Amino acid sequence: MASTRTISTPEAPAKSIKFNGARITEIHRVDTAGGHVKYACGLGQGYEKLFEKMGWSIPGEKTKSEKFEGKFEGGWLTHSASDKLIDAEYQIGYLVLSDFEMIRLEIEGKKKKGFRRELRFKATFKEQDACAKLEAYMFESDNARGPLKVTYYPEQVQEVIDLSSDESRQAVLDDGEETGTLASARQMGAKRGRLNSEAN
């Protein structure tokens, strides 16, 4: 088996995605700090762009329920009311944002004549005052809908270098301050972050 070396790239900057028309549907506390919060977002015009960003296929018109893959790990949730006259906003850290599901609902008063779609998902957290922030927002805004900004950190990309040839080994050695020996390459990798080796 060829000798390889995995070098982590520098930590990627934070990114964000916005879920418009979000409202809180459930707050659940599991201990003094941890819990989860569930959200529902109305999928109005332009939701196709959101699905494209998430890598999801557009469901068929008659689809009543569909679950989607994907999750965000570690970041921030910032939620504010769409109505500018309502001064309510909160920000909490989350552990995992997942359990995405689209639900098809009939429009009230228009049975079998119209429907709307709603995207539901859940965020877990481990922050002592998270529940207090969520409850305060619901009280101050009457649980108003509004944009939910999800800040996240993309997965770190790792480059695997084949060290089976003299040229590849030399390229690793020359890519930093240290040169001359494979031990120097290890020192360089330690400075960058994580350096794993695999040999036969």
- The tokens describing 7, both together, are 């070098």
The residue whose two tokens read 């088996």 is: 1
What is the residue extent of each domain of the chain?
4-10+157-198, 15-152
Query: pLDDT grade, residue 46 (50/70/90)?
Result: confident
Torsion angle of C-alpha atoms 47, 48, 50, 52, degrees rounded to 10:
170
The per-residue pLDDT of the chain, averaged, comes to 78
- Tell me how far apart the alpha carbons of residues 116 and 105 are, in angstroms, rounded to a whole number: 5
pLDDT of residue 50: 87
Q: For the chain, give me the number of helices (H) and strands (E)?
A: 4, 10
pLDDT digits (tens, 9 = 90+) for 148-191: 999 998 866 555 555 555 555 554 445 444 334 334 434 444 44
Closest CA to 97 of 75, 118, 130, 81: 75
Q: What are phi and psi of 47, to 5 degrees?
A: -70, -15
pLDDT of residue 198: 46
